[in-house]
Structure 1
Amino acid sequence: MLASSRRNSEYFSITSANESLDKLRSTSRVIESGILPEFDDPPSNNRTSYSSSFSNSVTPLAPDPGSSLNTAYNLGTLNRPFTLTDFVGNSNVSDIYRFNLASNSSFNLSLNGLTADVNVELLNGSGTRIRCSNASGTTSEWIDSILNTGTYYVKIFQHSGNTNYRLSISATPIVNGVRTVLGNLGADTFTWQSGFNRTVISGNGNVDFGSGGLDTLNLGLANISSTTTRLNLANANGGGVLYNPGNGVRVFDAITLNNSNQILFEGIDRIRFADRTINRFVRPNDPLFNQQWNLHMMGVHNAWHFTKGSTNVVIGVQDTGLGVNNNGNIHPELRAGNTIRFGNNYRDEFTGGDYYTSHGSAVQGIIAARSNNGMGISGINWNSPVLNIDVLGGDQADYNLAEATKVMITQANSRGRKLIVNMSLGGGGRDFAFEQLIANNQSNALFVISSGNSDINSISYPANLASIYSNVIAVGASWGTRDANNSATTPGDRISYPWFWGSQYGTGLTLMGPSEVIAPYADLNGQFSYWGTGSTSGFNGTSASAPNIAGVASLVWSANRNLSATRIKQILSQTAFDLGARGYDPVYGHGFVNADAAVRRAMAIGRGTA
């Protein structure tokens, strides 16, 4: 095991596959997390990357969009959600994008992340303006419309000042008279358009929620009042309408208008009628919740309407253990009374690659921090017990993977609980006893494992077991709106810095989750605070993305305990927000996890649908 002289400790975490397999095998005891070499801070990059929605390229970078129709950046045929980031200002007053529609489609556009005033226009193939949005100041711009087959342009231009922007657009073909509208991973606005018996809207998470941007169904523009509609909102015990938008039957909220037209929707933060507004999110009173963009981007604040976790599910954390203070107490943000421990095994000895900060405390906090208690952050799961076992560091009391897994399965089975095991670790040789436990428990145990951080086309062990076992999820890491240098990024894009650090990808990658996020911070001196606040950068790597996925999985299983682990993996994959090449691809797997849609899918199955 190699030590690391830590120059800038807040930028690092123990994460998967940080050292070569040969070095790991040379240790006296397998250190599943690998070691932590000295890293340099990633350089700043003022030119921002485009989403890979139209490309199989791992790190696509588009040329600067032109400012005329002839030099417009061609997005090709638009038939799915797409997001990119760029800049307009004094040195570049406008950007123009071109796209084609192969059929009559529902078109939706949002322009977020503004720090100055810009406007946006939608032009037809001849360059004639057909729609525009010119909100004042830094207010987000949006266009929601029906477009015919043909060529179109989007023009973004400066009104005053300099600003990055995040452009999100989607176009969904109109099939059998049904208007389907898809949002992106930020704040979107949706409206009612006449001429359709049924409109289906999916918000798809909202990274802008904490800054006040809401996924909004705006019926006030059509002068639709709540008193002239029939509202049928879903809840854990009933309500809503079962509908299959093409990726599995889910429980949708529903509004029926006085002309019998129906609007089905999910992932919506706010319904705005002409006479009143209804919020469809849960906002806990934890002061850092607004900064937890990872929860918002996954739609956790929407999923909480249906479940906040259940004692029917137990969450296993195999990691470094938990940091304690001089009184032997764990971080106050962790639910001490609901954390199952084995003697002193839960204690972080601060060995095995991270000698200063408690990796396990951050991981457990993302999943199950104390919530709605007026302090710190919100955990994804508020109620399920956590079983924490130290498997990292090679210390005398540590368990190996097979030992820890056997204990967790026995504990869960003896109490009739389902088990989710988070493993923010990687490396070492194959552990066949561990793999046999996975194989024998594909109904009742789900394993969520970090893909690794070496920025290579290969998934680290044991995450690569996702290619073999239907109850293993391999997790990659996605950006939100900013990277560790505070440079603008495209939400959902795979984290990759211009050095040797980035989210591993390849065959078997299942899902993408957020990273560089707020999490509990504990150090060897017994000091407690939070990653991602003040001068302490966010908890990073695929180590951070895995517990985000594990937390969401625990909500899905809490919503329907009759599901198998295999079915939970299937649901999360089926309902994920597609990224990268269309459908499954080895760079983004099935896409970015969608908590609200996954919980709604689990509920629909519980109501007897396939």
Structure 2
Amino acid sequence: MLATSRRNNEYFSVTSTHESLEKVRSTSRVLESGILPEFDDPLSNSRTSYSSSVSNSVTPQVAPDPGSTLSTAYNLGTLNRPFTLTDFVGNNDVSDIYRFSLASNSSFNLSLNGLTADADVELLNGNGTRIRLSNASGTTSEWIDGSLNAGTYYLNVFRYTGNTNYRLSLSATPIVNGVRTVLGNLGADTFIWQSGFNRTVISGNGNVDFGSGALDTLNLTNISSTTARLNLANASGGGVVYNPGNGARVFDAITLNNGNQILFEGIDRIRFADRTINRFVRPNDPLFNQQWNLHMMGVHNAWNFTKGSTNVMIGVQDTGLGVNSNGNIHPELRTTLIFNNNYRDEFIGGDNYTSHGTAVQGIIAARSNNGIGMSGINWNSPVFNIDVLGGNQADYNLAQATQAMINQANSQGQKLIVNMSLGGGGRDFAFERLIANNQSKALFVIASGNSNTNSISYPANLASVYSNVIAVGASWGTRNANNGATTPGDRISYAGWWGSQYGTGLTLVGPSEVIAPYANRNGQFGYWGGSTSGFNGTSAATPNVAGVASLVWSANRNLSATRIKQIFSQTAFDLGARGYDTTYGHGFVNADAAVRRAMAIGRGVA
């Protein structure tokens, strides 16, 4: 219901009711993009039209199957960064063999996840002789961690019992100046300390498997915690500031009694011989374990340092919010600031049946740790919602909505993050002037579009012009909308249906096809959920990134919007071609590393 009005009836707060939720059963129907009719823009003297960036599913392409002999091994080439692929072994395809090379002596890490039957993996040298074997029983993940000399190697993934898909993740990092650096992938990885190195640096890099109980683990079971000194980072201190080559970050640290040091980030669990330490936050919301998007971004790790701050305001420009017969928004949405009572989703121009704006805002700022529903990324920062989609009489254009949000943030001394899960239409020069004039205090996070083309839609393409605009593409988790196995981080692309747009100016990618609050035009509330009907499109990826951006800025309010974008570029998990590419931008958003980078800058280390 509406709370007391503020500032001469200009701004209002709208709150959700905590009445019992009506759980609306998700169906296989998918969202349809709604087009906002052209409308006059008095601030820019231009005519624009926008659509919400949701879309609709089919079957991804399947990679060639690896051979089952050394001579027919699938050649992965030279490993020089983390790499993941998805395939199958079973009764009719008992073995997959891969070949790879190392150009120098390297730290090597392997994980085999996503098993539904028992499969094992062995590491062979260039002559085909076994070096290591991982043969855990059942569907337990397999892992190999250690150091390898330069040369050629083979991996053999083979069936033990039954048929199973698998996800094979590899990383190899050169050993430089006696420092062993080990990089995880986007799933559960296990890391061990290896003697002979004065310093070991470990990055877990998010964990899409967290909800199933598979954790990014630092395995020190041959060491007692009583022989080690822990120096764990927190928001006010602790840890060690270290630059792994892409900007200094605050790492957790363990110093062993022989003086050797282990620095680590993105780790869920530390296992000593005598005790286990968890390094994640698990809210009591019942859907949290299904929110793979939060786990894959490492949000559950970043929450160790911040859950959001009132120094940051989150602006949502979208369809407005779905309401029930009493005018209440979804009970999982936190109290929301609105402009001129413009907050109701009229269900035109986003989706004719479900509230696009409700889903978008819920990903960013659903109520968390309240024992109901899902968890929002940001638990504390105020949210300002303005309806800009649908062409309804009360709606605002982008420039008007942006100016209102800037005015409100400035009046409270807050930094502003604007989520725009929309795209299309002609240029809005007044809107662009606001972007250009607020590059310190306002960050714009915008969907790249869903047409599966090598071009970024407007206004996301402004990311190639302005340093405070982030263009967001969409990535899969472990399953697509048809419940088919996918490789985490891969760009979402369905033949003949939709695909995340890519091209010059793309900044990074975030997760899509995810759980989000559901509100329909009949005033019913529930959740998008599961792998068959998750909230999708780059519309869903964008609020995931915007929510993480709000944590980064909450960790260090002295940063500029430009610096936030730079931090994302430095800390993203690299995908596609090595370094920046136009398919994935700088890679997949990494919440834990980005927050740790912001903290390091806050401690005076650039």
Matched, 1:281 2:280: yes
TM-score (norm 2): 0.93
What is the DSSP-based 3-state SS (H/G/I as helix, E as strand, rest coil) of the residue aligned with 1:70? helix
Matched, 1:182 2:200: no
Q: Distance in 2 between matches of 1:110 and 1:486?
A: 22
Q: In structure 2, what is the equivalent of residue 130 of structure 1?
A: 131
Amino acid at match of 1:396: Q
Q: 1:32 aligns with which of 20, 25, 50?
A: 50
Contact kept, 8 Å, 2:39 with 2:391, in 1: the verdict is: no
1:428-475: CA deviation from partner (whole Å, max 9, x where unpaired): 100000000000000000000000000000000000000000000000
Q: In structure 1, what is the equivalent of residue 334 of structure 2?
A: 335
Q: Distance in 1 between matches of 2:381 and 2:54?
A: 31
Q: In structure 2, what is the equivalent of residue 100 of structure 1?
A: 101
Q: Distance in 2 between matches of 1:30 and 1:250?
A: 42
Q: In structure 1, what is the equivalent of residue 546 of structure 2?
A: 550
Matches within 5 A, 1:29-428: 30-33=48-51, 41-42=57-58, 44=59, 48=62, 61=63, 63-220=64-221, 223-336=222-335, 339-428=336-425
What is the DSSP-based 3-state SS (H/G/I as helix, E as strand, rest coil) of the residue aligned with 2:418? strand
Q: Distance in 1 between matches of 2:428 and 2:338?
A: 24
Contact kept, 8 Å, 1:114 with 1:139, in 2: the verdict is: yes
Contact kept, 8 Å, 1:31 with 1:393, in 2: the verdict is: no
1:15-69: CA deviation from partner (whole Å, max 9, x where unpaired): 5xx77x9x969999744116989x5x41x45x64xxxxxxxxxxxx3x2100000
Following TM superposition, by how much is the alpha carbon of 1:355 offset from its aligned partner in structure 2, in angstroms? 1.2
What is the DSSP-based 3-state SS (H/G/I as helix, E as strand, rest coil) of the residue aligned with 2:419? strand
Matched, 1:464 2:461: yes
Q: 1:494 aligns with which of 474, 488, 491?
A: 491
Following TM superposition, by how much is the alpha carbon of 1:500 offset from its aligned partner in structure 2, in angstroms? 4.0
1:65-96: CA deviation from partner (whole Å, max 9, x where unpaired): 00000000000001110000000001100000
The 1:533–1:588 alpha-carbon spacing in structure 2 relative to 1, beyond 3 Å, is: closer
| Structure 1: runs of 5 or more not aligned | 1-7, 49-60
Matched, 1:13 2:37: no
Q: Distance in 1 between matches of 2:287 and 2:385?
A: 25
Contact kept, 8 Å, 2:421 with 2:538, in 1: the verdict is: yes
Q: Distance in 1 between matches of 2:28 and 2:374?
A: 18
Amino acid at match of 2:390: G
Q: Distance in 2 between matches of 1:542 and 1:12?
A: 14
Following TM superposition, by how much is the alpha carbon of 1:11 offset from its aligned partner in structure 2, in angstroms? 4.0
Amino acid at match of 1:273: F
Contact kept, 8 Å, 2:229 with 2:256, in 1: the verdict is: yes
Q: Distance in 1 between matches of 2:216 and 2:160?
A: 25
1:202-231: CA deviation from partner (whole Å, max 9, x where unpaired): 0000000000110000000xx201000000
Q: Distance in 2 between matches of 1:455 and 1:396?
A: 32
What is the DSSP-based 3-state SS (H/G/I as helix, E as strand, rest coil) of the residue aligned with 2:407? helix
Q: Distance in 2 between matches of 1:318 and 1:585?
A: 28
Amino acid at match of 2:100: F
Contact kept, 8 Å, 2:319 with 2:345, in 1: the verdict is: yes
Following TM superposition, by how much is the alpha carbon of 1:537 offset from its aligned partner in structure 2, in angstroms? 0.7
Amino acid at match of 1:266: E
Q: Distance in 1 between matches of 2:230 and 2:40?
A: 64
The 1:29–1:527 alpha-carbon spacing in structure 2 relative to 1, beyond 3 Å, is: farther
TM-score (norm 1): 0.92
Contact kept, 8 Å, 1:451 with 1:464, in 2: the verdict is: yes
Contact kept, 8 Å, 1:241 with 1:254, in 2: the verdict is: yes
Q: Distance in 2 between matches of 1:36 and 1:100?
A: 41
What is the DSSP-based 3-state SS (H/G/I as helix, E as strand, rest coil) of the residue aligned with 1:341? strand
What is the DSSP-based 3-state SS (H/G/I as helix, E as strand, rest coil) of the residue aligned with 2:500? coil
Q: In structure 1, what is the equivalent of residue 21 of structure 2?
A: none
Contact kept, 8 Å, 1:559 with 1:599, in 2: the verdict is: yes
Q: 2:512 aligns with which of 510, 515, 519?
A: 515
Contact kept, 8 Å, 1:82 with 1:184, in 2: the verdict is: yes
Following TM superposition, by how much is the alpha carbon of 1:344 offset from its aligned partner in structure 2, in angstroms? 2.7
What is the DSSP-based 3-state SS (H/G/I as helix, E as strand, rest coil) of the residue aligned with 1:242? strand
Q: Distance in 2 between matches of 1:352 and 1:172?
A: 48
What is the DSSP-based 3-state SS (H/G/I as helix, E as strand, rest coil) of the residue aligned with 1:170? strand
Q: 2:452 aligns with which of 448, 452, 455?
A: 455
What is the DSSP-based 3-state SS (H/G/I as helix, E as strand, rest coil) of the residue aligned with 2:553? helix
Q: Distance in 1 between matches of 2:426 and 2:486?
A: 36
Contact kept, 8 Å, 1:475 with 1:513, in 2: the verdict is: yes
Following TM superposition, by how much is the alpha carbon of 1:342 offset from its aligned partner in structure 2, in angstroms? 2.0
Taking only aligned residues, the RMSD between alpha carbons, in angstroms, comes to 1.8
